[in-house]
A = this chain, B = another copy of it.
Amino acid sequence: MTIKVRIITPHVTPRPQKIEEVAGLNEFLNVAFSHVNLTIGPPSIQGMFDDGFATPGIVARCIEAERDGVNAVLIDCMGDPGLDAAREAVSIPVLGPGETTMHVAAMLGHKFAVVTVLDQVRPLLEKHAKIYGLQEKLASVRAVDVAVNHIGDDPDGLLARLLEQSKKAVMEDHADCIVLGCTGFLGVSDRLQAALHQDGLMVPVLNPLRTTASLAVALAGLGLRHSQRAYARADISALVGYGALFSK
């Protein structure tokens, strides 16, 4: 049984390297990945406005995935946009890297920190930790002060900034696990963990895309889906003005 997982990048900017980031999971999981992004929505997710205008497109992509026979969907953003709306629209598991990676990090130590792009997304991540019930396990949210569309500009500089904030999270905030706080931080989690270990800070670094993709396979393989009692099925046909989105 091969589990089909679709990664939905929740904005209109193409992000072709996502499949590559999770490719290694095939070594221990029977999984096949596919990847799409949105046709309508914001260019990136940097707040609740972006979340709001991404949600219709995300939901449409989830419905399409279910129609395509996909077994689980992963919304590719630490802000978990559209998560609840999508769960009301489909019968397959819909996972967000924010929720998933924070729960896994909570199992690996006493407190974790999230190291993300900009300080302006801190309140959103803190709010989600509170909703997910993980507030007391969250040591801090720290930012490297690099905008999403500049993540790839200077890989070594980015690593240095991630290392600096991760060390502060451990030494000052008492974190003992680090969660990479943006799914756009590609190819850097192993290097960051190695750098922390070299500096004597023996903490795990969680890669949100890989962690969430693994859990998506596990949930689908176990035959689990989100509680329909928690997420009552929505009536798509009653919507006014979104015909074009669903006619595709």
Contacts and interface: CB of A to CB of B under 8 A. Distances in A.
Contacts of A240: 12, 39-43
Nearest to A55: B52
A56 interface: yes
Contacts of A130: 130-131, 136
A23 B177 CA distance: 32
Interface string A219-230: 111101111111
A229 B202 contact: yes
B107 A100 contact: yes
A219 B204 CA distance: 11
A104 B131 CA distance: 15
Contacts of A146: none
A28 B29 contact: yes
A80 to B, nearest CB: 11
Contacts of A126: 110
Nearest to A83: B48
